[in-house]
């Protein structure tokens, strides 16, 4: 009787996994670096919305506030920063080099209904925090339902939701 040995399908998967590990660990692999054809790296962002504003936080370690340029034009937010600090020369045997140096930039399309001319920016501990208020017409509104009495139709009342407003106050 002849025994035939068949290869395990999991053996091929391990080979594929090892190939993917090598690809992602390879120093030739680089993530997307911002705008194609430029020397910009990407600025990592957190963007969230609150009832009254859009809040953008950008991580810019090692950058001075005066080296940051923020523009809003045609519904597009652009953050550019230049790390002007002198760095050690490139001589020496780098084993790992992941810290972004030089220029960084990020462009984000903003939702409609923001008042960009009233935006406020702060910069603390390498984090840029940009707050862009929402226009009054796009802020959430609360709708109150009045109870129906004696078969009459309910009266619906709306009010502006404001931060810090006490319940029962109308805006």
Record the tokens describing residue 1, joined without a space. Answer: 């009787």
Strand ordering across the sheet containing 120-124: 45-49, 53-59, 127-133, 120-124
pLDDT in tens, the chain (171 residues): 677 766 666 655 556 767 766 666 644 444 444 444 445 577 889 999 998 999 999 999 888 999 999 999 988 999 999 876 656 566 677 788 777 677 888 999 998 889 999 999 999 999 999 999 998 887 777 888 888 877 665 555 555 554 444 444 444
Three-state DSSP state, 106: strand
Three-state DSSP state, 68: strand
- Output DSSP code: residue 28: T
pLDDT of 171 reads: 41
pLDDT of 58 reads: 94
pLDDT of 23 reads: 66
Q: Using CA atoms, how far apart are residues 55 and 130, in angstroms rounded to an integer?
A: 6
Q: Using CA atoms, how far apart are residues 155 and 133, in angstroms rounded to an integer?
A: 31
pLDDT of 128 reads: 95
pLDDT of 70 reads: 95
Record the tokens describing residue 110, joined without a space. Answer: 């903003």
Three-state DSSP state, 47: strand
Specify whether domain 32-87+94-137 bears CATH 2.60.40.790.
yes
């Amino acid at each position: 009787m002849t025994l035939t040995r068949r290869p395990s399908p999991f053996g091929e998967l391990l080979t594929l996994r090892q190939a993917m590990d090598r690809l992602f660990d390879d120093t030739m692999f680089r993530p997307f670096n911002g705008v194609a054809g430029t020397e910009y790296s990407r600025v990592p962002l957190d963007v969230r919305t609150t009832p009254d504003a859009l809040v953008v936080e950008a991580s810019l370690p090692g950058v001075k506030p005066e080296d940051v340029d923020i523009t809003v034009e045609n519904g597009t937010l652009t953050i550019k920063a230049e790390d002007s600090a002198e760095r050690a020369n490139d001589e020496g045997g780098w084993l790992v080099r992941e810290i972004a140096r030089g220029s960084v930039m990020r462009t984000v399309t903003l939702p409609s209904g923001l008042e960009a001319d009233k935006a406020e920016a702060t910069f603390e501990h390498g984090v840029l925090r940009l707050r862009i208020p929402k226009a009054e017409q796009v802020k959430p509104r609360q709708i109150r339902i009045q109870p129906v009495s004696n078969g009459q139709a309910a009266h619906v009342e709306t009010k502006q939701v404001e931060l810090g407003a006490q319940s029962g106050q109308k805006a």
